[in-house]
């Protein structure tokens, strides 16, 4: 098991959001968390990534207990987090932003190898390497954020709502970017509001509501589930 989250409780100050969230991801899997706004999807990702200290429960990564470790340490261990906000440096070039994603790697030579790898994955970024990140289109910025996450050579990518705010065509481009990662052996935990699309590309999924996992299963089965269809797909 690559990631094993057990009975995770987390929140903000005294406000508890996550209640006994448990989920597992095997190496190479493409797994999603779907659920309504405010369900705790981002909170789950932030807690796994170490940006938020859990109130209880455990997070095991590669068989190692990483519960409560600082985000920088967790990043070094191979978990990359592409947040909703993306936090790109808008006044820096595409290439400079990519190098920021390699801060866990000491040797310049290895950083450059990673850069070439990311440019191979996303040729669009190579074409735009000198362009300021702030002048890229919405879809290109998402691709840049995903590419920057790949710079650290992660074994697990946490990707939070990559299609948020994008037109359908750009949404497809972002999903294609994630397909490229899966083909390259990266394991992905994806959070999305686009439930139909997400369940059609991922292998397994968890439904999070009010901080609790209500349902889990193969994405195909979830897409056919009457509750999921009624609540999330409006059918
Ligand atoms: N920094 C914060 N401080 C206090 N409450 C927060 C903070 N971030 C999120 N929340 C609350 O936690 C709940 C879950 O939020 P979030 O995990 O972002 O949901 P989702 O990503 O599923 O839409 C929401 O009620 C939200 O208002
Ligand atoms: Mg969110």
Cα–Cα distance for residue pair 158/165, rounded to 1 Å? 18
Whether residue 110 contacts residue 68, with contact meaning beta carbons closer than 8 Å, is answered with no
Ligand 1, residues 16, 17, 54: which to mutate, most atoms within 8 A of Cβ? 17
Which residue ranges have their beta carbon within 6 Å of ligand 1?
12, 15, 17, 35, 37-43
Q: Which DSSP state fits 117? A: H
In this prediction, residue 168 carries a pLDDT of 83
- pTM, entire model: 0.94
Whether residue 127 contacts residue 119, with contact meaning beta carbons closer than 8 Å, is answered with no
- State pLDDT tens for residues 154-183: 999 999 999 888 888 888 888 988 998 999
In this prediction, residue 86 carries a pLDDT of 75
In this prediction, residue 96 carries a pLDDT of 97
In this prediction, residue 232 carries a pLDDT of 82
Taking the centre of ligand 2 as the mean of its atom positions, its distance from the CA of residue 113, in whole angstroms, is 32
Ligand 1, residues 42, 48, 160: which to mutate, most atoms within 8 A of Cβ? 42
In this prediction, residue 167 carries a pLDDT of 82
In this prediction, residue 59 carries a pLDDT of 98
Structural domains present in the chain: 3-231 (3.40.50.300)
Distances (CA, A) of 101 to 113, 141, 203, 219: 13, 14, 27, 31
In this prediction, residue 233 carries a pLDDT of 78
The full DSSP string for the chain is --EEEEEEEEEETTEEEEEEEEEEE-TT-EEEEE--TTSSHHHHHHHHHTSS--SEEEEEETTEE-TT--HHHHHHHTEEEE-SS----TTSBHHHHHHHTTTT---HHHHHHHHHHHHHH-HHHHHTTTSBGGGS-HHHHHHHHHHHHHTT--SEEEEE-TTTT--HHHHHHHHHHHHHHHHTT-EEEEEES-HHHHHHH-SEEEEEETTEEEEEEEHHHHHH-HHHHHHTS--
Taking the centre of ligand 1 as the mean of its atom positions, its distance from the CA of residue 45, in whole angstroms, is 11
> Which residue's CA is the closest to the ligand 1 atom numbered 25?
38
Query: Which of ligand 1's atoms lies nearest the C-alpha of 191?
Result: 21
Q: Which DSSP state fits 14? A: T
Ligand of minimum distance to the alpha carbon of 38: 1
CA atoms within a 13 Å half-sphere pointing along the CA-CB vector of 82: 31
Taking the centre of ligand 2 as the mean of its atom positions, its distance from the CA of residue 47, in whole angstroms, is 13
Nearest one of 203, 202, 135, 140 to 170, comparing CA atoms: 140
In this prediction, residue 118 carries a pLDDT of 93
In this prediction, residue 215 carries a pLDDT of 95
> Which residue's CA is the closest to the ligand 1 atom numbered 1?
12
Taking the centre of ligand 2 as the mean of its atom positions, its distance from the CA of residue 11, in whole angstroms, is 13
Ligand of minimum distance to the alpha carbon of 84: 2
pLDDT tens, N- to C-terminus, the chain (235 residues): 999 999 999 999 999 999 999 999 999 999 999 998 999 999 999 999 999 999 999 999 999 999 999 999 999 999 999 998 778 999 999 999 999 999 888 899 999 999 999 999 889 999 999 999 999 988 889 899 999 999 999 999 999 999 888 888 888 888 988 998 999 899 999 999 889 899 999 999 999 999 999 999 999 999 999 999 988 877 7
In this prediction, residue 194 carries a pLDDT of 86
Taking the centre of ligand 1 as the mean of its atom positions, its distance from the CA of residue 11, in whole angstroms, is 8
């Amino acid at each position: 098991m690559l990631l094993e989250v057990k009975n995770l409780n987390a929140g903000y100050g005294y406000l508890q959001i996550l209640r006994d969230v448990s989920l597992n991801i095997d190496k190479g899997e493409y797994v999603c968390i779907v659920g309504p706004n405010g369900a705790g999807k981002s909170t789950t990702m932030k807690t796994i990534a170490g940006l938020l200290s859990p109130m209880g429960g455990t997070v095991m990564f590669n068989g190692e207990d990483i519960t409560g470790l600082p985000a920088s340490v967790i990043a070094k261990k191979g978990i990359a987090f592409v947040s909703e906000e993306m936090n790109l440096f808008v006044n820096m070039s595409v290439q400079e932003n990519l190098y920021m994603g390699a801060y866990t790697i000491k040797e310049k030579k290895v950083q450059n190898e990673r850069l070439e790898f990311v440019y191979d994955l996303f040729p669009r970024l190579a074409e735009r390497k000198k362009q300021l990140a702030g002048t890229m289109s919405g879809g290109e910025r998402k691709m840049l954020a995903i590419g920057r996450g790949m710079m650290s050579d992660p074994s697990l990518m946490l990707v939070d709502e990559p299609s948020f705010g994008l037109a359908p065509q750009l949404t497809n481009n972002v999903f294609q970017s994630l397909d490229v990662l899966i083909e390259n052996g990266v394991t992905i935990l994806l959070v999305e509001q686009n439930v139909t699309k997400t369940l059609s590309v991922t292998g397994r999924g968890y439904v999070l509501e009010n901080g609790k996992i209500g349902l889990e299963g193969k994405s195909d089965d979830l897409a056919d589930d009457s509750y999921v269809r009624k609540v999330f797909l409006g059918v």
